């Protein structure tokens, strides 16, 4: 595997808003808390950070805040995906110029790109910007990438160092892990698949949920690494329970909105707000879910002072 491949648990923080502007004080508190909780890296302006809803200067502001708070304690690899390759190159160059440690670059957005088009997209960015790249596949944002394209990119570009999977058809991700696990690091995009990925030789989780219940993700990771598979399975089932609670109580709310609500439970008094036209969690939804969430092995360490 390439020596500069990213590993471990990487977290996609939310972007707090206040009066429809980036809420810098709470953004800083979120980043500080995620680092203190033990993440191995930060991915601002991913889908959880509402990257598709941000103005260009807002993306740069969020990166600057994250770099400042991280202060080299953990690597920072912002999402630089965009609808066009030209804009993706621009964002990726700006990330390099700001001193980011890498980027998470999505496949072409909002279109059913062919394998050739997807390859050209990553080829043009990787060739023009010498920065470590995490390939990001998300079928909700465009056509899912083929295993052949992923392997070709891993083979041909020294700065393609990692891959994040958000398509959970098992035969597909099994094939990707088989092809490239010894070439680049592979991350699941959901903690519900983390145990399955680890058992097949993948390397980590690149997820939003770490900011919500970090002890569950760390518990799975540490017990798996120690060979305590029964305890790892226990944490896996707690993660599945977490999703069941979210599905039951946060009906209608956006993906990123639910983690803003959980931050409020943890003690950061950010607004529920998400960018229009998307839907925030309602205060009564969070209150109804409170008791169930607090039953997920929460201790006093979970709360942010």
pLDDT score, position 140 = 84
Predicted confidence band of residue 111 (pLDDT cuts 50, 70, 90): confident
Q: Where are the domains of the chain?
A: 8-228
Q: Residues 61, 93, 119, 136: which is the catalytic one?
A: 136
pLDDT score, position 108 = 87
Question: How far lies 34's CA from each of 30, 43, 140, 213, in Å?
Answer: 6, 11, 26, 10
Residue 305 has pLDDT above 90, yes or no: no
Structure confidence by residue, pLDDT tens digits, 31-61? 999 999 999 999 999 999 999 999 999 999 9
Residue 26 has pLDDT above 80, yes or no: yes
Instruction: Give me 204's structure tokens.
Output: 């980590």
Q: 164 forms bridges with which residues in the sheet?
A: 136, 187
Structure confidence by residue, pLDDT tens digits, 233-275? 999 999 999 999 999 999 999 999 999 999 999 999 999 999 9
Nearest of 30, 31, 45 to residue 77 by alpha carbon: 45
Residue 225 has pLDDT above 80, yes or no: yes
Mean pLDDT (the chain) is: 97
Nearest of 116, 112, 219, 102 to residue 162 by alpha carbon: 102
Residue 117 has pLDDT above 90, yes or no: yes
Structure confidence by residue, pLDDT tens digits, 150-190? 999 999 999 999 999 999 899 999 999 999 999 999 999 99
pLDDT score, position 142 = 83
pLDDT score, position 109 = 85
Kindly give, in sequence order, each residue whose CB lies less than 8 Å from that of residue 31, ignoring residues fewer than 6 positions away: 13, 42, 65, 66, 69, 70
Instruction: Give me 118's structure tokens.
Output: 């997807």
Predicted confidence band of residue 110 (pLDDT cuts 50, 70, 90): confident
Active site residue 136: yes
User: Do residues 181 and 201 touch, judged by C-beta distance below 8 A?
Assistant: yes
Predicted confidence band of residue 112 (pLDDT cuts 50, 70, 90): confident
Kindly give, in sequence order, each residue whose CB lies less than 8 Å from that of residue 302, ignoring residues fewer than 6 positions away: 213, 215, 266
Tell me, which fold does domain 8-228 have in CATH?
Answer: TIM Barrel (3.20.20)
Predicted confidence band of residue 197 (pLDDT cuts 50, 70, 90): very high
Please state, in angstroms and rounded to a whole number, the distance separating the CA atoms of residues 210 and 86: 32
pLDDT score, position 188 = 98
User: Do residues 224 and 195 touch, judged by C-beta distance below 8 A?
Assistant: yes
Active site residue 164: yes
pLDDT score, position 25 = 98
Segment 184-207 shows an average pLDDT of: 97
Q: Residues 61, 73, 119, 164: which is the catalytic one?
A: 164
pLDDT score, position 47 = 94
Segment 225-236 shows an average pLDDT of: 98
């Amino acid at each position: 595997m390439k020596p500069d491949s990213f590993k471990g648990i990487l977290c996609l923080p939310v972007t707090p808003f206040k009066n429809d502007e980036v809420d810098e004080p709470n953004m800083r508190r979120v980043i500080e808390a995620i680092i203190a909780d033990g993440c191995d890296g930060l991915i601002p302006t991913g889908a959880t950070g509402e990257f598709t809803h941000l103005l260009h200067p807002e993306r740069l502001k969020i990166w600057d805040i994250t770099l400042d708070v991280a202060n080299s304690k953990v690597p920072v690899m912002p999402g630089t995906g965009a609808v066009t390759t030209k804009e993706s190159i621009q964002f990726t160059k700006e990330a390099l110029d700001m001193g980011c440690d890498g980027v998470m670059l999505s496949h072409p957005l909002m279109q059913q790109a062919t394998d050739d088009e997807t390859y050209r997209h990553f080829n043009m960015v990787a060739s023009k910007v010498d920065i470590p790249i995490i390939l990001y596949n998300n079928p909700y944002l465009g056509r899912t990438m083929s295993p052949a394209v992923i392997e070709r990119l891993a083979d041909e570009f020294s700065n393609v160092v990692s891959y994040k999977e958000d398509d959970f058809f098992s035969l597909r991700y099994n094939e990707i892990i088989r092809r490239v696990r010894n070439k680049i690091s592979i991350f699941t995009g959901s903690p519900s698949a983390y145990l399955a990925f680890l058992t097949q030789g993948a390397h980590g989780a690149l997820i939003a949920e770490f900011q919500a219940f970090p002890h569950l993700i760390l518990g799975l990771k540490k017990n798996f690494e120690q060979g305590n598979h029964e305890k790892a399975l226990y944490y896996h089932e707690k993660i599945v329970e977490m999703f069941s609670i979210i599905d039951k109580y946060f009906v209608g709310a956006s993906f990123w909105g639910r983690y803003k609500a959980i931050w409020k439970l943890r003690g950061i008094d950010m607004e529920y707000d998400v960018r229009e036209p998307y839907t925030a969690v309602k205060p009564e939804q969070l209150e109804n879910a409170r008791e169930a969430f607090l039953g997920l092995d929460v201790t006093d360490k979970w709360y942010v002072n």
